Each structure stands twice: as C-alpha cells, then as structure tokens.
Amino acid sequence: MEWLLEPLSSPIIVRALLASALVGVVCAVVGTYVVLRGIAFIGDAVAHAAFPGVVVAYMVGFSFYLGAAVAAVGTALAIGFVTKRSGLRQDTSIGVLFAGMFALGIFLFSTIDGYVADLFSFLLGNVLAIGTGDLVALVIMGSGVIVTVAILWKELLYATFDPLGAAASGIKVDRLEYLFLALVALTIVVSLQAVGIILVVAMLITPAATAQLLTVRFTRLMVLAALIGIASAVVGLYLSYWFDVASGATIVLVQTSAFVVALVLGPRGLLARRRPAPAADVVDGVAA
Amino acid sequence: METLTVAPAGPAHPSAPAAPRDHDHDHGPLDPAHALAHADVWLSDVTAGYGDRVALEHVTIAVEPGSLLAVVGPNGAGKSTLLKLMAGLARPWSGRIQVLGGPAGREARRVAYVPQAELVDWAFPVTVEDVVMMGRFPRLGRVRRPGPDDRRSVRDALEQVQMDNHLRTQIGALSGGQRRRVFLARALAAEPDLFLLDEPVTGIDATTQELLMDLLEAQAARGKTVVATTHDLACAAGRFQQVLAVNRTVVAYGPSNLVLDADVLAAAYGGHLLVIEGRTVVLDDAHHHDDAAPGERHFHDMGGR
C-alpha cells in the first residue's frame, strides 16, 4: 500500500490527481457527443486555437484561463459561423481557422524575448504545476460544463441523433450547435494544463471511442466514458510518478491502451466470434 | 374536396423550365381566404431551393385537417423540400406558408417530422425505446426528465407498431421495416396534429406497409393531418385519400383516383414513365431518395453491424 499512498503525501500530487480526474470526467461527457457527431477534429483545432490566447495572457499578465477561453470559444463559434454562412464544409473551415490561430500564437510567442518554459508546458501539459487557485478555476469551469450538459442532455441527444427531427419538433438546433461548440472549447481550456494542447484531443475522444466499442446504449456509453476518463487519469498519473515520465503523455497512453484492449477483446472486438445476425434482423423478411 | 387541380401541361421534362402559369390556376378551385382559414397546411406561390438551385417553384396548395395526403414525383422533384418547408426546416425564397395557423415552425410541438431512412445514423448508440422517447422530449420542456406517463406513451406507441418486444434493441440491429415502424412510433408518441413523413413506406415489406398505412389512416380519421412523400404509386393510389404530384411545381393535386391517371403521371414523371397496355409503370432510379441538401449527412451502410 505504501507505493499507492506515498505519492498522496505531496499536495502537488493530490492536486494533480484531482485535476486529472476532473478533466477525465468533463472530457468524457462532452467527448461522447463529439464522437457521436463525428467531429473529433474540432477538439484538436480548438486546442491549437487556444494558443494565441495563452500567449497574450502571458504577455499582458492576466489569467491564463481567461486568455485560453476567449481564444478557444471565439474560434469554436467562428468555425460554426463560417461553416453556416460560407457553404464550406465544416472540416475545411476548421482547418483554415485552427491553423491561422495557431500561427498567430507562434508569431506572438516568437516576439517574446528569451526562453519561456511556462509556454512549453501548455504545448505538452504539466499537471504537476496546477496550484490551488488553478484547481478552483478548473472545478468552476468543469462543473459549469457538466451542469449545462445535464440540463440540455435531451436536446443535445436528439439534435445529435436526428437534427432534422429535432429542429422540426421545435428544438433550436442552430443555437444548440453554437452552445455545444462553446462547451467543447471550455472543456479544452479545462484540460490544457493537464495534458497540453497537442494531446488534449485524446482526452476528449479516446474514452468515448473506447466506450463506444463496449456498449450500444447512450447513457451507459457516457458513464463508461467518464469512468475510463477518471481511471486512466489516475493510473497514468501514478505511472508517471513512479517512473518519472511526462504525465500528460502517460495518461494519454493509458487511454490508448484501454482503447486497444477494447478493440481486441470487446463484444464487437477483433477476437469476438462472428455471430450470425440476431433473429430480429429477419422478423419481417426484409434484410436491412 | 372532389376536385382536381391539374397544372397546365407544360413540357413534361424535369429539367425544362416551368410553363407560364394561368393566374386562375394558381389558386385552383380554392378561395384563398377560405383555404387559409380552414387548412392545416397552406402554401401560397412558394418558391424554394438550396444555394442557387431551385427545388420548387410557384407551389400553391391547401391541406385540410384530417387529410391523408401522398406527395409523389420523380427523384429531385422537390418532395423532400416540400416536406421541409412545411416542417419549418427550410425557408421559402418567396411566397407564404402557414402551418397549423401560424408560420411554419411556430407550432413545432404539434408537428412530428420523420426523415428519410438515409439521413439516420443507424450505428448510433440508442435503443428502440430511446428513439421513441425522443418524440416526448418537446413536450417535456427544458429540465424535466421523462416520467411514467412518457414511458407509458412510448410503450403504447410501440405496441401500435408491434415493436413493443424490441424496447432494448439497438436500432442498427433492426430490419428496414422495423426501423420505419420505430420512427412512426416516435411520431405517434409525440401526439402531433400534423405528421410529416419522408418516405415512410420505402423499402419495406407489404405487411409492414399495410400496418403503417392502417395506423396513418386511423390518425387521419381522428382529424390529424398526414402528409407523406412516397415512391410507391400503388400505395399512393390504394391507401391515400389524396395525392399531390410534384415535379418542381404542382403537376396535379386532388383525390388519388383522379391524380393517378396515366396523363397526369406522364406530366409528373416525364420520360421516366412507361405505359404498357393501360398499366402505368414508373421507371425510377433505384436510389430511393432525393439528393442530399447542403449539410446533410447520408448514411449508407444499413448492415446491422
């Protein structure tokens, strides 16, 4: 037990554990909708787009979270707006905006004199650098996201599954789309410090993708994704502590391993026996 | 309404421009004010499309409460667009639309819209029960969760379509006919005054088709209005009271026995119609839906896994 409890004597590790577990839950909940909508790329894009906000916050000296949030939410909404108004495909507008914003970040970064270690930790993440104030900010933003999803889960589910049917029944699908993009952006901001810009998409996508291999029920999928998110954050952090390796990368590797295990061993996995189609398929004699 | 509106016979080819229309024919035999006051769905000189492509032009129709109306026409004729206009999912470029006494979309909670099967992601992790419950969401409002009443209503709708023994089945494991039944159950669970159904009987077996049509007939008999697009002219002729034939504009509108004669169909389907010894055959392409509207995702593998 010593090896499990020993790290907990350090407040740095305790904060890191709490922060990564929180990130695991928030990412899994929002990531479930992201995966089902098939817009995984947007997580990566918004994370990179947050970079100029982080740099400006550093240069001007105000809160990192504020800078990241303004840049990420702004870009997410701009992606939605450009897609709707320009007639371009969503992946095209994502590509244009995210590369532009990341370039702006690097441009601003290069104007800073000298070596700035803090900024590199945002590219690669450093969960051990999270202070008490950071943790409070993460909890506030994270619970904001979770509460919003809890209030709107019906509408989000309906609009994700059948946008036409949902819109026809009076759900404001357009407004919901913008709100959802903002939620994705806030989720990214919450996760940036734990895993960094480059790896944050894994936190968003991998637990939900793993859960999708294991269940065909929406609620179970979200719960399972959250559990995978928390477990991999905790396991990854412990591993990085024991072996003294990068925490963000270790957490993501644990998630990736869980995904591979589900892919191979899951009910529909590569090793699963190919079952004949269930009887339901032929009840009325028409192949689907 | 035992009258038939037939548009002036223009060039009967889908790509040909619509013939100039005689003004009297625009409103047909309907007095516009009367039609507006009594119709569940009312379109006046509506033109609509996507981008710079016209899908429908100068459409004027009035659908009375309790109607069971089939919308027929070749692929790309604007059937789905017409349904989307009625559902408030697309806005007309010009003309006016009134649905259930308000502009299209305002009375959304009294409308149930069922999309084409191709627009549904059948691999989505939802069960039969989950999908039908979505029909209850609009009446629940923001925060309220589904309660016993909603579950009863879902169960009841699934009994009507004879799918109540599949509550926990993921929708991808269903056959084509079962999928259509589940979506009709979702519409029934919403208890709407207007059903807008895009290809509800396409690609399903005869038994399921009879079952679905019996249910829709019963809804119409209760005063609900049913508008359904279909490629199945036999079904339109045999099971619907009224037929609207469209090909970018209204070709004919009236009781099904009057609309579905060879001359009207020739106007609607142009070169895709073959008349053999008095029997009419529609030569349509095998792909049973209109082109995707911008932004629509089409899902084509329907394989259960």
- Helix count and strand count (H, E) for chain A: 12, 0
- Report whether pLDDT(B233) > 90: no
Which of B84, B89, B85, B109 minimizes the C-alpha distance to B97? Answer: B85
Chain B interface includes A4 (CB < 8 A): no
Which of A121-125, A221-225, A279-283 is predicted least confidently? A279-283
Contact A108, A54 (CB under 8 A): no
Which of B164, B170, B198 minimizes the C-alpha distance to B73? Answer: B198
B 240-299 → A contacts, CB under 8 A:
294, 297
Which of A154, A162, A277 has its CB closest to that of B304? A277
Averaged pLDDT for residues B235-249: 90
Chain B interface includes A40 (CB < 8 A): no
> pLDDT tens-digit profile of B34-92?
666 678 999 999 999 988 889 999 999 999 999 999 999 888 889 999 999 999 999 99
> How many Å lie between the alpha carbon of A220 and the closest alpha carbon of chain B?
9
Note the Cα B229 to chain centre separation in Å: 4
Pick left, alpha or beta for residue A138 (phi over 0 → left; psi -120 to 50 → alpha; otherwise beta).
Answer: alpha
A 89-148 → B contacts, CB under 8 A:
none
Which of B185, B149, B77, B219 minimizes the C-alpha distance to A165? Answer: B185
Which of B191, B187, B185 minimizes the C-alpha distance to B169? Answer: B185
Residue A278 lies in a domain: no
pLDDT at B291: 52
A interface mutation test: which of B53, B110, B178 has the most A CBs within 10 A? B178
pLDDT at B293: 61
Chain B interface includes A171 (CB < 8 A): yes
Structure-token match 């089939």, residue found? B70
pLDDT at A172: 92
> How many Å lie between the alpha carbon of A40 and the closest alpha carbon of chain B?
16
> pLDDT tens-digit profile of B148-189?
999 999 999 999 999 999 999 999 999 989 999 999 999 999
Averaged pLDDT for residues A44-53: 92
Averaged pLDDT for residues A103-110: 90
Amino acid sitting at position B264: V
pLDDT at A34: 95
> What span, in angstroms and rounded, lies between the C-alpha atoms of A188 and A193?
9
Terminal alpha carbon distance of chain A: 54
pLDDT at A288: 35
> How many Å lie between the alpha carbon of A53 and the closest alpha carbon of chain B?
31
Q: What are the helix (H) ranges across A111-172?
A: 117-124, 132-161, 163-168
Contact state of A154 with B172 under an 8 Å Cβ cutoff: no
Under CATH, what is the fold of the domain B65-84+109-282? Answer: Rossmann fold (3.40.50)
| Max mean pLDDT range (A67-81, B216-230, B245-259, B277-291) | B216-230
Averaged pLDDT for residues A145-173: 94
- Report whether pLDDT(A66) > 50: yes
Domain with A42, as residue range(s), is 2-270
pLDDT at B152: 95
pLDDT band at A287 (very low <50, low <70, confident <90, very high): very low
Higher pLDDT, A275 or B195: B195
A interface mutation test: which of B110, B124, B154 has the most A CBs within 10 A? B124
> How many Å lie between the alpha carbon of A46 and the closest alpha carbon of chain B?
21
B interface mutation test: which of A33, A156, A162 has the most B CBs within 10 A? A162
Strand pairing partners for A63? none
Which of B89, B131, B303 has its CB closest to that of A288? B303
pLDDT at A6: 82
B 69-88 → A contacts, CB under 8 A:
84, 87-88
pLDDT band at B287 (very low <50, low <70, confident <90, very high): very low
Residue A282 lies in a domain: no
pLDDT at A49: 93
> How many Å lie between the alpha carbon of B57 and the closest alpha carbon of chain A?
22
Contact state of B130 with A166 under an 8 Å Cβ cutoff: no
pLDDT at A277: 43
Percent of chain B exceeding pLDDT 90 equals: 52
Residue A242: give its domain's CATH number: 1.10.3470.10
- Report whether pLDDT(B17) > 80: no
- Report whether pLDDT(B288) > 50: no
**Chain B residues lying within 8 Å of A277, measured CB to CB:** 173, 304-305
Which of B113, B207, B208 has its CB closest to that of A165? B113
pLDDT at B264: 75
Contact state of B138 with A170 under an 8 Å Cβ cutoff: yes
pLDDT at B71: 94
> pLDDT tens-digit profile of A127-145?
888 899 989 999 999 999 9
pLDDT band at A275 (very low <50, low <70, confident <90, very high): low
> How many Å lie between the alpha carbon of A167 and the closest alpha carbon of chain B?
7
Chain B interface includes A173 (CB < 8 A): no
pLDDT at A123: 82
> pLDDT tens-digit profile of A205-244?
999 999 999 998 999 999 999 999 999 999 999 999 999 9
Average pLDDT value for chain A:
87
Averaged pLDDT for residues B124-133: 95
Contact state of A158 with B143 under an 8 Å Cβ cutoff: no
Averaged pLDDT for residues A13-42: 93
Upper half-sphere CA count for residue B300 (Cβ side, 13 Å): 4
- Report whether pLDDT(B300) > 60: no
Chain A interface includes B204 (CB < 8 A): yes
> How many Å lie between the alpha carbon of B189 and the closest alpha carbon of chain A?
12
Averaged pLDDT for residues A26-36: 95
Residue A288 lies in a domain: no
> What span, in angstroms and rounded, lies between the C-alpha atoms of A220 and A231?
16
Contact state of B87 with A268 under an 8 Å Cβ cutoff: no
Average pLDDT value for chain B:
81
A260: tokens are 């591979």
Contact B94, B130 (CB under 8 A): no
Contact state of A168 with B87 under an 8 Å Cβ cutoff: yes
B 139-158 → A contacts, CB under 8 A:
140, 142-143, 145
Contact B161, B185 (CB under 8 A): yes
Which chain B residue is nearest to residue A274, measuring alpha carbons?
B305
- Helix, strand, or coil here: A109? helix
**Chain B residues lying within 8 Å of A35, measured CB to CB:** none
> How many Å lie between the alpha carbon of A93 and the closest alpha carbon of chain B?
13
Residue A43 lies in a domain: yes
CB neighbours of residue A159 within 10 Å: 24
pLDDT at B74: 86
pLDDT band at A168 (very low <50, low <70, confident <90, very high): very high
Strand pairing partners for B62? B42
> How many Å lie between the alpha carbon of A281 and the closest alpha carbon of chain B?
5
A interface mutation test: which of B134, B140, B201 has the most A CBs within 10 A? B134
Q: What domain count does chain A have?
A: 1
> How many Å lie between the alpha carbon of B206 and the closest alpha carbon of chain A?
9
Chain B interface includes A217 (CB < 8 A): yes
Note the Cα A105 to chain centre separation in Å: 21
Higher pLDDT, B14 or B218: B218
What ipTM did this prediction achieve? 0.83
> What span, in angstroms and rounded, lies between the C-alpha atoms of B114 and B229?
11
What residue spans define the domains of chain B? 65-84+109-282
- Report whether pLDDT(B277) > 60: no
Chain B interface includes A155 (CB < 8 A): yes
pLDDT at B215: 96
Torsion angle, CA of B208/B209/B213/B215, rounded to 10 degrees?
10
pLDDT at B283: 54
> pLDDT tens-digit profile of B193-202?
999 999 998 8
Contact state of A169 with B304 under an 8 Å Cβ cutoff: no
